[in-house]
Each structure stands twice: as structure tokens, then as C-alpha cells.
Structure 1
Amino acid sequence: MDHHQYDIAIIGLGNAGSQVLLAMLEHQGFKDHKILVLDDFQGESLDKTWSFWEKGTGKWDHLISYAWDFGSFKTDDLKLDFDLTPYRYKQLKSRDVIAFAKAKLIDHPNCTLVENRVANVIENTETATITTEAGSFEAKLVLDSRIPSAFFQDTQSIKLQQHFLGWVIKTEKEIFDPSRFLMMDYRLRDPGTTSFTYILPYSATEALVEFTYFSSEIVSNQTYEKYLKTYLSDYLNIESYEIISTEQGNIPMTTYRFEQHNTRLVHKIGTAGGWVKPSTGYSFKRTEKFVGILIDNYLKSKPLDAGMFLKKFRFYDDIMLDVLKHHNDRGHLLFQNLYKNNPIKRILSFLDEETVLAEELKIMLPLTSWPFIKGFFKKLF
């Protein structure tokens, strides 16, 4: 059994694990660190798409699959087209990001890859012991992307799920505008739920079409498929199409405080660390920001999550989740008011947690329906 000691062990080479590893390999502060990465690559992480917005060019542009300069938002009462400038909406294939990180890892003399599932992590006095079928490993710090079991047992936090089924379809006729993606279309909804259609067009005849819920309970595959078929036939007037591939996911949207599981030797990252934006389910660009904070904190010997979670934005997220939890049938109205009363640049900046109070008031005040006010005071007191 290998008991070699590493400075840092990263469990999971998904979104968070890949970004942490690449950032460390690019930073001079880690040039002498011995890094261990453990992943059995048996999950669904290789078959996901990661979408995000950012201003101008970014560090991932060499891996980008598609990008859009324009977007749309629709309800029965509102049709909004917007220019994203100075932002662009971009899509990555998880397989490409992970392959890029894996290649960098294999080529680095101070890195070791163990393609095995982690069975257990035990904290000792100075190191943590990581047990796998390939042996045991010691690390001074473990960055762990496995969701703690306590999360699934918790009954106090609000727990919504962004769950969806998407089809990449190919049509005979030119249907889509490849320069414009559809953020949310609430014209077709599952009654009593916050549910919508999301479209990423790849060409005039090819697109990813997803039916998505923000809700407490998941639905059957037959339900997703029913709404996808209805949307394609009744809203896009598509008579014939081929399903090229499918994508299905479930992202937690929760008030649960994942950082409570961080210890001196084991730190949770990614979804397991609460890095998913609770009110939207977006995580890729947020992870990039949190990775920068984590690395800076590590090199300065500060708590690794210091400065990650800003209280006022966590407060806003908690309110939004409270409203969606208790008034799920009104979610489309909440988002309609958000998009109707704010330019897209302000909305994206707010979701990136980069706005000032004056901007935040402009975001929040139009949402002041009775459910929203009730949620506000519930969280305030």
C-alpha cells in the first residue's frame, strides 16, 4: 500500500476539482507542492455541458464549444430580446475541461493521478488518510468534492432542485437563430410549478432544448418528454426532428450551509462546498472566482473559505429560495418582474454578486409582491 505523503489531495476532477488543479499548476506558489488527484471517472461528470456568462474573452475560450451575443426571455405577457454586450453567454463541454486538466496533471512531475473511488477519509493529527482500493494515501490538506451525507439527512434547510431533461435535436428546416439563446420561456409550464424551456441553438437546424424545473420534487422522464414534445410541436412548429443526444441533471438550490463540514484538514469544494449559486443553479464562473479566493487564502494561511460567502447576497438568495419554495406556482411572475424591470447587464452583475446597494434595490424592489415581502421578513427576523 502507498503511504506516500502529499501536500494537497483533490477528490474528484469535475468542475471544481479541475479548476482548482489547473489554478494550482499555473501558480508559482505551488511549484514545489506534491498534488494527488483521485477520481474513478465513472460518474456523469464527463457528459455535462457547463454554461456561463462573462465579459469579453476569458481563460476558457480555447475550450468553448459555442457562444452567444444575444438572448431572450418569454412569458405569456412578456417577450424580451436583449443584447448581452459587454457579456457573452458561453458553453463548455465538461469532457473537454476534464480532459484538459487530466492532460496537465499527467504531464506534471509533482502530480499523481489515482483512478479509483475514495472509500474513506480519516483525519489524523497532521495529515488525513485517504483510503481507496488502490491503497491508502496521506495528505496535509484534502479538497473534497463529495457531497456530505448530512446534507441529504437535513430537514431544516430549504432544498429546491434545478432538474431538467434536454434533447439536442436536428431539424429538417431552419428553425433557430444561432446568435440568440433562450434563457427562460415560461409560456409552457407544468401547473403549480416554476418550470420553463431553455434553448441553446448551435446552428439554424440544431439546438439543445431543455425543459427545466425549480422545484422540491423531481418528475418522471415521461413528464419531461411530454413537455419537450409539446414545446417543439406547439411553440416551435417543428414537425420532424432527430434526437442526437440527451442531457439530464439535478442541481441543488438550497440554504444549506455546506461550509459547516470544513475542518482543518478537509475542505469541501464545488457543489459539496456550497459553490453553486443557490438562486440560479449556476456554478462554473462562480467556481472560478472561489478557486481564486481559496488559493489566495491558502498561500496567506487564512481559512480557505474566508471572503467567499458575502452575507448580503446570501440573504438575497435565501429570500428568493423561500419564495420559490412556498409559492412555486408564482415563480414565473418573480422572474418576469426581474427581467421586465432591469436591464440584462444589471441582472447578470447582480447574479455575479458584483453590484452595489443602489443597484440591488433596483433589482429587489420590483419583486415586492406579498410572498416576496413575507419571505424578506421571515429571513430578516
Structure 2
Amino acid sequence: MTLIEERPDVGGGRGGEGPVDADVAIIGAGAAGLSLAHRLSSGTAGRRTPSVLLLTAPPGPLRPARRTWCFWEAGPGPYDPALTASWQRLRVRPARGRPVESRIAPLRYKMLGSDDFEELVHRDLAARGTVRRTEAVVDTVEGVPGGARVRAATPAGVPLDVRARWVFDSRPLGALPAARTTLFQHFHGWFVRAERPVFDPGVVDLMDFRTPQPPRGLSFGYVLPTGRHTALVEYTEFSPAPLTQEQYDAALRHYTRDVLGLGRLRVTAEESGVIPMTDAPFARQSGPAVFRIGTAGGATRPSTGYTFAAVQRQARAVAAAFGAGRRPVPPPAHSARSRAMDAVLLRALATGRVDGADFFSRLFARVPAERLLRFLDGRTLLYEDIAVGLRTPVLPMLRTAAELPRLPRRPFEDP
């Protein structure tokens, strides 16, 4: 079985009769879908590598936009050949006062562009020859005896009927699940080239709070330098609703000109994103043989918006389950303790009980950066979590924690 690019007749070639059989069907070729296909094809899923059909949306609104993912890990990783850059120094700038700069060894903070990630994965999949790929718009997924059935159509309108033992669906949900608190991390970024050598390529400005703060939530600048003259500069908010394009552009002009003092620069590319930050529970299973992965399966960390590292953990766990002969149910991306702490922080930010800029500035000033990153990734022990908690505004956080059990979960409504 080989990697098939844009094959229009994969449903049998006669109007869709004659279903395609595979061990695994993966819906969506974003970070979650490609990571799972890559992991399953790597030979780590047991002696018999499962056959995989990867259903990717055709070019258009259903296909994920180009984006940049950032994550941290110790040592080399499988996607290092595709990295744009990586760093071992992070900096957080409070609204007033001196910046906090930290070394995060043995961790590295890594920047990965989606185009480079896709090129690496597709090259590996083609070489391994266990994944077929076709463009299709998926209509329905339903359980059938012995597995699941996916009904879709190719870009030419040819019906596609797929039967698989297991289906992994990474498509965005139509609506967010009911929650007590929902904010959004929304951002707009410029890839810039400055006339002067104004960037330090050895350090990332992870959070720069010298930006005007919204009434609810927080805002910050984010600078990922790739050279002395080049960087990705983003304006980010955690707040109830995204901004207009004009507001993002105004915020970035203010940040690059008045805060950073970059001088003359050229914008070479742009990127935007909206990430839900919610304490809603995400179902990881929608049928006996149908599972949700990625953001739709709860991979996004509610307190930070980071997703890529959790997607990798899900993919590794699914592959390990195949190798052990278990049902390949994706595990929770984040522990119950992490989700409970995130729920408290989201509520405290949404109610204004804590000043978001001050909250994160104090954390990075008072907690060793390497430990704090492990905490944000849900990889700290209980005593470390308690130590971090004691360095937050304790009384507002306790008040919020006491309030949460009495709050109903409500469907999300656009403000």
C-alpha cells in the first residue's frame, strides 16, 4: 500500500459502490491527523503496521490555514529537521519593572511551521508506504458492525464510502460543549524583516505585557526571533471575543513601533488564530469505534492554548495501544488535576479577580522556568503543583475554587 495523492477514484470508481477497507481512517490532515498517521506508520504500533486511509479536506475553507506551532521538549524530537528555530532562553516582560529571563535546559522551546511539518510528514509517509491519502469532504461517520463507516465525496462530487475498523476524527466541532467559563486565545502575527539588527535570536519574548490590557482577560506581545533582522511578532489576547482585523493591525503597529521600537520593517507574511480556552469537557469517543483527536478531543490546554505537545502524546498513546492489542482509545490529553486548576484560573481571569498580566509575570519571576513549563504541560508532581499554587494570588483563587462546583455548565453563546 502506498501514499496516494489526490486520488479521485478511491471509493471504487463506479459512483461510490465498493467501499474502501482500512484498519484506520483518519479524518483531517492538520497537526492531529498527520501526527497520528506519522506515528502509526513508524513501525511502533506492533509487528503489523496498520493500514491507514487519511482523508484530507480539499483546498478551501475546510482545510486548516497555515500556522506556526510552538512547544517545548527535552532533547531531539521527530520533527527537529523541520523546525524553523529553537531556543533555550525565554523572557517575560511585566507591564512595569525589569524583565525576567530564564534558561530552560534541558528543555528547548521549538517553533514549527505547518508547511514544513506537512512536507516532512508526507515525505516520511511516502517512504514508509502504509498510508493512503485522498481529498474528500466528509459528510457522516457512523458505527457499523465491526467498525465504522465514513460517507464523503471527492472534490469532483464522486461519493466515497469508507469502512474502517477504527476512525479518528480531527475535524473542528460545530459548537463548543457546555462550560462554566469560556475565553478565547486569539492572535494576529506578522513575520517581519527589520532594516536594523534589532532582534536577539537567542531568546524568545514569551509574554510581553507592555500592551494595553483588555477589561477582562489579558493581552501580551510575543516575539520569536529567527535572526538579527527577522522574527514572528504577534499580538495575543485572552478575552471573551476576537478583534477585528483593523484592531489587530493597530495593536501590532503600536507594539512594533512604540513598544519594541523596531523602526522601519517589512511584513513578509501574516498569521491569525482563535483557540478556545474552556473548562468544558470534550468527549473523546463518539461511537464504539469512532474517536476524536486534537482540539476536538480536548488536546488544547485550557490555561495556555498550547496543543501540539498534547497531540503528540495522544498519537503516541494510540500507537502504543495498537501495539499492545488494546482498544486504541485516545487518553485524556491533560490530567484531571490540571483541568481543575485550569478551570479555576479561567474563572478568575474571566471575573477579573486576578490581574492576568500580573499573575503570569509573578509566576515566571517566582517559579523556576523549567519547572513552570513542566507545570504548564501537566508533568509536575502534586507537591510541585502545590508549590506553584502558593505563588499565585491565594485568596482570589480559593474563592474561585469554592464557587466553581455551584456554577452550571451552559452552552456557549457568541457575545
Structure 1's 328 and 68: CA in aligned 2 closer, same or farther, altered over 3 A? farther
What's the counterpart of residue 411 of structure 2? Answer: none
1:225 maps to 2:249: yes
1:148 maps to 2:173: yes
Q: CA deviation at 1:295?
A: 2.3
SS in 2 for 1:192: coil
CA contact (8 A) 1:70 1:84 kept: yes
Q: CA deviation at 1:302?
A: 4.2
1:117 maps to 2:137: yes
1:372 maps to 2:388: no
Among candidates 16, 20, 23, match of residue 4 of structure 1: 20
1:24 maps to 2:40: yes
SS in 2 for 1:130: strand
1:94 maps to 2:111: no
Structure 1's 246 and 150: CA in aligned 2 closer, same or farther, altered over 3 A? closer
What's the counterpart of residue 273 of structure 1? Answer: 297
After TM superposition, the structure 1 = structure 2 runs for residues 69-88 of structure 1, keeping only pairs within 5 Å, are 69-78=88-97, 79-88=99-108
CA contact (8 A) 1:9 1:139 kept: yes
Q: Name the amino acid aligned to 1:120.
A: T
Structure 1's 328 and 237: CA in aligned 2 closer, same or farther, altered over 3 A? farther
1:166 maps to 2:189: yes
SS in 1 for 2:41: helix
Give me the whole-angstrom Cα distance separating, in 2, the residues matched to 1:107 and 1:85.
34
Stretch of structure 1 that moved more, 336-345 or 120-129: 120-129
Q: Which runs of 5+ in 2 are unaligned?
A: 1-15, 155-159, 407-415
Give me the whole-angstrom Cα distance separating, in 2, the residues matched to 1:11 and 1:30.
24
CA contact (8 A) 2:284 2:298 kept: no
What's the counterpart of residue 386 of structure 2? Answer: 361
Give me the whole-angstrom Cα distance separating, in 1, the residues matched to 2:354 and 2:254.
20
1:245 maps to 2:269: yes
> Of Structure 1 and Structure 2, which has the larger fraction of its residues in helix?
1
What's the counterpart of residue 333 of structure 1? Answer: 358
Give me the whole-angstrom Cα distance separating, in 2, the residues matched to 1:217 and 1:374.
25
What's the counterpart of residue 180 of structure 1? Answer: 203
SS in 1 for 2:197: coil
Q: CA deviation at 1:11?
A: 0.5
SS in 2 for 1:350: helix
After TM superposition, the structure 1 = structure 2 runs for residues 46-85 of structure 1, keeping only pairs within 5 Å, are 47-78=66-97, 79-85=99-105
Question: How many residue pairs align between the two structures?
Answer: 379
- Cα deviation digits, residues 247-288 of structure 1 (max 9, x gap): 101111111211265321110000110011111111111211
Structure 1's 83 and 166: CA in aligned 2 closer, same or farther, altered over 3 A? same
Q: CA deviation at 1:307?
A: 5.8
Q: Name the amino acid aligned to 1:347.
A: L
CA contact (8 A) 1:45 1:94 kept: no
Q: CA deviation at 1:312?
A: 1.1
1:202 maps to 2:226: yes
CA RMSD, 1 decimal: 2.0
CA contact (8 A) 1:192 1:329 kept: no
CA contact (8 A) 2:293 2:330 kept: no
Q: CA deviation at 1:166?
A: 0.3
Give me the whole-angstrom Cα distance separating, in 2, the residues matched to 1:260 and 1:25.
22
1:314 maps to 2:331: no
Give me the whole-angstrom Cα distance separating, in 2, the residues matched to 1:234 and 1:3.
60
- Cα deviation digits, residues 321-356 of structure 1 (max 9, x gap): 111222287211211221121110110111121111
Give me the whole-angstrom Cα distance separating, in 2, the residues matched to 1:352 and 1:132.
36
Q: Which runs of 5+ in 1 are unaligned?
A: none
SS in 1 for 2:348: helix
Percent identity for Structure 1 against Structure 2: 28
CA contact (8 A) 1:200 1:209 kept: yes
After TM superposition, the structure 1 = structure 2 runs for residues 293-308 of structure 1, keeping only pairs within 5 Å, are 293-298=317-322, 299-302=324-327, 304-306=329-331, 308=333
